[in-house]
Amino acid sequence: MKEWPEMARGNVSLTLMPPRLSEALRVALALAPANEGQTIAQREMVASLQSALDARRQRIILSRSSINWVKWTVLLVQAGLLLVCVAMVHSDDPAARRIALSVFATGIGAAIVLIASHSRPFTGEISVSPSVLLQVLPEGSPSSKNQ
């Protein structure tokens, strides 16, 4: 959970494995299963830990992503062209032109706000929070106390 603010700033490294996950993986792999049930349990523990590491890796990659200027430029040019086309189609009726342009401009504005709000998923008003991960942490764990 300490990584969440770092992800918002884009400062988390993929090269360093969290010490707790690393230790848990090391312990799970060091177990010597005595029977088939323990072997299956060990395999499931390792798979779950690898899944947690993969989820962390995906969050870090997502935190570093953003929408580049080319996509924004294309979106705005396309929006402008759409508004010009709508104005040309309704050029004979000023009232219909105003209504159609207002409706399309509102839709374009909503699309831009939606895309901008998801451009950086760990910052801003509509950011992704660690609330689901905090729910699965044990009550007395040091990570849950640091929040």
Of 6-15, 42-51, 73-82, which range is least confident?
6-15
pLDDT above 70 (res 120): yes
**DSSP conformation class of 14:** S
Per residue in 83-96, pLDDT (tens digit) is 998 888 888 888 88
Per residue in 40-65, pLDDT (tens digit) is 999 999 999 888 888 888 888 877 77
Cα 85 to Cα 108: distance, rounded to the nearest angstrom: 14
pLDDT above 90 (res 35): yes
pTM value is 0.56
Whether 122 and 93 have beta carbons less than 8 Å apart is answered as no
